[in-house]
Structure 1
Amino acid sequence: MNRLVPLGILALAILAFATLMLVIAPAVQIRGMTATPGLKPYTEQQMRGRAQYVSQGCVYCHSQQPRSVDQAPDAERGWGRASVASDYVNDRPHQLGTMRTGPDLFNVGARLPSRDWHLTHLYQPRAIFDWSIMPGYPYLFELKARAAPGDVVISLPSQYRPDTGVVVARPEALDLVAYLQGLDHSYPVPPTAVRDDGYSEPGEPR
């Protein structure tokens, strides 16, 4: 019985310390944080596309958090600079991701700016990479006998084209691609920026 009291005190102390370090301290650190200079707010279409990104579960296979050079060769992979906390000011909820079955998408709009590329890739990834294991999203598209004015027709290799008619993008596909095109964080960050992994930028105290 006498041991229960110190054990209880120790457990509460550990809980208080964890709460301080993992909840309170980060909240104080980011309170009042403003967007990184150069970060553009999402347009209405990009916000709709972001909702599609969330609903389609893209976060389960793609991250949006390139690591620093001392942690991973993400920059060598062409994924861009290491992300910082203020890059995510406009994100509710954030889509950092924990898996990289596919490449990081933090800068996909900078390295792959083509709308046609993204639409083809969404409809049938193997039309671009025959080794891809990414699922296609044909329900974001529509098969029509002929394109109507304003329709965006998807460019497909012969083996993936329908026997008759054309494949056109639904608004949901166009919105999702607009969001992906907007993922461009190639602007520089201030030297005092806080990296999302808890470290400061090079030259700042850690």
Structure 2
Amino acid sequence: MFFRSFLFFFGVLATLLLGWAGLVGMPDAMISEIPPPEGLQRYTAEQLYGRSIYIREGCLYCHSQQVRPEGFGSDQARFWGRPSVPGDYVFDKPHLLGTMRTGPDLLNIAARQPSEQWHMLHLYDPRIVVPGSIMPPFSWLFEKKPTAAPGDIVLNLPDSLKPDGRAIVAGRDAKALVAYLLSLDRTYPISQGTATLKGK
């Protein structure tokens, strides 16, 4: 009886370990062999903080960060950039590929929209820059001040949205989030070695 229980326990343990190795261990080891592309920069401290805001505010639930190849959707027709390769995500832990596209893909948003002010306005009230947008405003990332201080990023709001005599300035979280969004540019050229495993 004891021997059968031991065999059962060992079988369950072996199944779990082999499953983990196949689904987690081996893919992680394979990806770790991929060199970063020459044009890919490590995130700065501010961009990493902005990435945490991106996660906290749930941006990944409506936006993907993966450009699909021809034949797998309309990404190429929308000029969202070349198809993503594993090397594009070397510094992304965890990756934020996303599964929903309620909004557009953001992997190359900095190439499509390089303006800091555009992103600030889009976060404060998306319909200012994209009429008809269904994205919710993230106005809590901004502050209303009687006067802007030196170094403040002031929003250039339309007159109809300007609060009486007060400036709308970006808070720390808004600045960091925009810094992260402006780091999302994977339009650099890639080599065959970047797209595949070393020596494969």
| TM bin (shorter chain) | 0.7 to 0.9
SS at match of 1:67: coil
CA contact (8 A) 1:127 1:160 kept: no
SS at match of 1:142: strand
Quickly say closer, same or farther: Cα 1:44–1:17, change in 2 above 3 A: closer
Match of 2:8 in 1: none
Shift of 1:143: 0.5
- Which amino acid counterpart does residue 152 of structure 2 have in structure 1? D
1:47 and 2:48 matched? yes
Shift of 1:22: 4.0
Shift of 1:70: 2.6
SS at match of 1:179: helix
Quote the Cα distance in structure 2 between the aligned partners of 1:81 and 1:64.
12
Shift of 1:21: 5.8
Quote the Cα distance in structure 1 between the aligned partners of 2:31 and 2:186.
19
Quote the Cα distance in structure 1 between the aligned partners of 2:32 and 2:44.
25
Match of 1:61 in 2: 62
1:190 and 2:183 matched? no
Choose 23-32 or 53-62, whichever is displaced more: 23-32
Quote the Cα distance in structure 2 between the aligned partners of 1:56 and 1:75.
28
Q: Where do 5+ consecutive residues of structure 2 fail to align?
A: 1-11
Quickly say closer, same or farther: Cα 1:15–1:148, change in 2 above 3 A: closer
- Which amino acid counterpart does residue 118 of structure 2 have in structure 1? W
- Summarize the alignment of residues 1-206 of structure 1 with structure 2, pairs less than 5 Å apart: 22-23=23-24, 25-194=26-195
Shift of 1:193: 4.0
TM-score (norm 2): 0.84
Quote the Cα distance in structure 2 between the aligned partners of 1:162 and 1:77.
36
More helix by share: 2
Shift of 1:17: 8.9
Quote the Cα distance in structure 2 between the aligned partners of 1:20 and 1:51.
28
How many residue pairs were aligned? Answer: 188
Match of 2:6 in 1: none
Choose 186-195 or 81-90, whichever is displaced more: 186-195
| Identity among equivalent pairs (%) | 47
Quickly say closer, same or farther: Cα 1:45–1:20, change in 2 above 3 A: closer
More contact order relative to length (CA 8 Å, sep ≥ 6): 2
Q: Where do 5+ consecutive residues of structure 1 fail to align?
A: 1-11
Quickly say closer, same or farther: Cα 1:193–1:126, change in 2 above 3 A: same
CA contact (8 A) 1:64 1:96 kept: yes
Quickly say closer, same or farther: Cα 1:171–1:20, change in 2 above 3 A: closer
Which whole-Å deviations, capped at 9, do the CAs of 1:95-138 have from their partners, x for residues lacking one? Answer: 10000000000000111000000001100001112200101111
Shift of 1:73: 2.2
Quote the Cα distance in structure 1 between the aligned partners of 2:190 and 2:145.
46
